[in-house]
A and B are shown apart, each in its own frame.
Chain A
Amino acid sequence: MKMKKFDQIILRFLVIGFPFILALMIWAYKIVGNNQTLYTEHYNGAFWNVAGIFFIIWVALAVLTLMRLLLNSNFREEVLSKVVRVKERDEREIEISTQATKFSFFANLALLVCLLFFSTLNFKFKKYNNDVFDESGEKRHGQLTMGFGLHTYDEKALTLNTDLVQNEIVYSELPFSKTGIIILLIVWQIGMYHFSTRKELRED
């Protein structure tokens, strides 16, 4: 698939611009340290302005590109096949690629199901050093507690900051928990598979 010139320019800008963004992060970290906001009182000048504008443009284009990756199947295939170096030069390679995709799909799904299980599992083993007796007078050597917990969202991320200034919009990380993200990925993978196959079958 041949990529559009405009898409190529944007992707090159994102890739080439990434080291600058990284350098900018290191520079900002050296000035103010971790988990702090860089204000104009820390640094001022032409570089600050240019770097700021560059940063805004880069983030905006990154968001736009990521949304397109998610929603536009042709664009996704064009970009990601280059990123993961998919070789589909003829029908045999397409067949091999199809088999590899199926293999990877099931391997991913198995891994996600496994991760989902372990992300919900709670396990605690406690060994008693001293003699402990239960209500019936029987000696206890230890205690084993097992269970499952399902938290789909991150409570910390959803906690409202009461000190927030009015009209301020704050975004910081995804509000989903690890379990929530795993469930989302499982549903997404199976959903996309059925969406694709049913679309093809309907066309037949």
Chain B
Amino acid sequence: MYSLVYIEKESLMGNLKPKIQIKNNLHVLRASLKITQAELALAIGVTRATVNAMENGDYNPSLELAFRLSLFFKKDIQEIFTVGDENEKI
């Protein structure tokens, strides 16, 4: 019984590891609107550095920020963010 619980916990911890890479086309969408990173940052309430980090794939936004981006670009979240190849090295 104890070992079963242990395995369950271990697998739960394993699920927390980031295995998928989330890609985005923020750069393309922003360019289509002809706005700067600073302007986008101001519109969605973050710093310019965060917009830059998201565009470079260094930072995955929270669900709340993803929805804010979705509302700003008037697109579904899945049109902005896509799941990359699972085997691709992050």
Contacts and interface: CB of A to CB of B under 8 A. Distances in A.
Interface of A: 89-93, 95
A95 B58 CA distance: 13
B52 to A, nearest CB: 10
A91 B62 contact: yes
Contacts of B50: 90-93
Nearest to B54: A92
Interface of B: 45-47, 49-50, 53, 59, 61-62, 64-65
14 contacts: A89-B46, A89-B47, A90-B45, A90-B50, A91-B46, A91-B50, A91-B61, A92-B46, A92-B53, A92-B59, A92-B61, A93-B47, A93-B50, A95-B59
A92 B64 CA distance: 12
| A-B residue pairs, 8 tightest by C-beta | A90-B46, A92-B50, A90-B50, A92-B59, A89-B47, A91-B62, A90-B47, A91-B65
A103 B65 CA distance: 26
A90 B40 CA distance: 14
Contacts of A92: 46-47, 49-50, 53, 59, 61
A150 B33 CA distance: 68
A92 B53 CA distance: 9
Contacts of B59: 92, 95
A31 B64 CA distance: 64
B63 to A, nearest CB: 10
Q: Which of A91, A93, A95 has the most CB of B within 10 A?
A: A91
A90 B45 CA distance: 7
A9 to B, nearest CB: 31
Q: Which of A91, A92, A93 has the most CB of B within 10 A?
A: A92
Contacts of A95: 59
Contacts of B64: 91
A105 B57 CA distance: 28
Nearest to A94: B62
Contacts of A93: 47, 50
Contacts of B62: 91
B12 to A, nearest CB: 15
A91 B68 CA distance: 13
A92 B45 CA distance: 12
